[in-house]
Amino acid sequence: MSVVIRDAAAIIAALEDPALVPPPRPGAGSTLQLRAAMARFSSPADHPVRRAAVVDAIERIDPDAVARAATTLTCMLLDGEEVDAVADIAAIVPTRALASCLPVADGRLLGDFDVVAAVAAMVGVIGHGGPVTPEADDAVSNLVARHGVEGASALYQNHDATGALITTRLMAQASGRTPASAVPRTKRLAALPHGAAVGEEVILEIGAAGLPFGAGPHRCPGERLAEALANAVLEAISSAGYLPDLAGARYDSDRRPTRLPLRRTAQSGSPRLRTA
C-alpha cells in the first residue's frame, strides 16, 4: 500500500518534512555509490550541503551556451523527411548539450566517450530501478571522473526530465491542449509517522498539483537550464520546418510521448511552434 498526495500545499509540506525521506537503495558498485551521494536521494541531514554544491555547479553553467549547443545539435539531427522527436531528439540533445558545457573534472577531453549511452545507463539503474551491471558501473565511473558527483547529478536530473519537457510541449503546441507533466510524481518513504506507517511509500503527484519542478528545498535547481534548452530545441524544430504528426504519436500512462514523429513540411519557415 502507498499513500498518495495530490494537494499542492500538502505536497510542499511533505517535501519539507524530515519524516519523509527518499527511498534508499543500498548496494555496492559505483552506480549505487553515486546515488547515495546525490543530493536528490540524501537524508535531511546531508541534503542541504549536497544541494548547495549542485546549485553552485549549475549556476556556473551559462544557459545561453547550453541553448546554443542544443540548437546546433537539433539542427544536425533533423535529417530526413521524418524524425522521432523522442528517440532522435529528446533522448540525445539534452544530455549532449549539457555535457558540452560542463567542466571536465580530471582535465581529460571526452574523446570517443559516449556520454548519452553513459547517462542512459546511469538513469536506467538509478531512475528506472534497473539492475546494476558492470557496464553501468563503468559508465558511472567515467561520468564521475569527468564531471564529478555534481556534474553527474546534473546530467541525471536533466536526461529524462528535459527530454520529456521537450516532447510534452511539442504535443501540447501541436494539439492545443495543456501539456502533460514532464515529471508527474516523486516518491518518499515514511521514516517517521506522517499519515503513513513507518516504512510506507508516499507518492507525491507533483504534476497534477501544478508543481512540475517540485517545491521548497527539493525544487529542481536546473529549471532555468531546462527551460533554455527546451525552448532552443522547439525553436530549432520549428525553424527547420518540422511539425509533429499526432496520428503517429504513442504515449505512456501519463500521456507523455514515447514516440512522436516529426515530419518536414514542403519548405522551412512553416508556422512556428510557440516556445513560451
- The matching CATH number, chosen from 1.10.10.10, 3.40.50.2000, 1.10.630.10, 1.10.8.60, for 2-264 is 1.10.630.10
- Report residue 199's pLDDT band, with 50, 70 and 90 as the boundaries: confident
Q: What average pLDDT does range 58-82 have in this prediction? A: 96
| 31-67 tens-digit pLDDT | 999 999 999 999 999 999 999 999 999 999 999 999 9
Region of residue 80 (phi > 0: left; psi between -120 and 50: alpha; otherwise: beta)? left
How does 232-264 read in b/e, with b if 16+ C-beta sit within 10 Å?
Answer: bbbbbbbbbbbbbeeeebeeeeeebbeebbbeb
Q: What average pLDDT does range 269-276 have in this prediction? A: 41
Q: Which grid coordinates are listed for 232?
A: 532552443
pLDDT at 273 (0 to 100): 44
Q: Compute, in degrees rounded to 10, the torsion defined by CA atoms 90, 119, 127, 89.
A: 10
pLDDT at 228 (0 to 100): 97
In 3D, which of 156, 158, 174, 168 has the Cα closest to residue 86?
168
- Report residue 193's pLDDT band, with 50, 70 and 90 as the boundaries: low
| 150-170 tens-digit pLDDT | 999 999 999 999 999 999 999
pLDDT at 275 (0 to 100): 40
- Report residue 71's pLDDT band, with 50, 70 and 90 as the boundaries: very high
Q: Which grid coordinates are listed for 180?
A: 502533460
pLDDT at 179 (0 to 100): 94
| 203-261 tens-digit pLDDT | 999 999 999 899 988 899 999 999 999 999 999 999 999 999 999 999 999 999 999 99
pLDDT at 23 (0 to 100): 92
Domain boundaries, the chain: 2-264
pLDDT at 176 (0 to 100): 93
| 85-130 tens-digit pLDDT | 999 999 999 999 999 999 887 655 555 689 999 999 999 999 999 9
Please report where in the chains the cell 524524425 appears, as a residue: 83
13 or 270, greater pLDDT: 13
Please give the model's pTM, rounded to 2 decimal places.
0.91
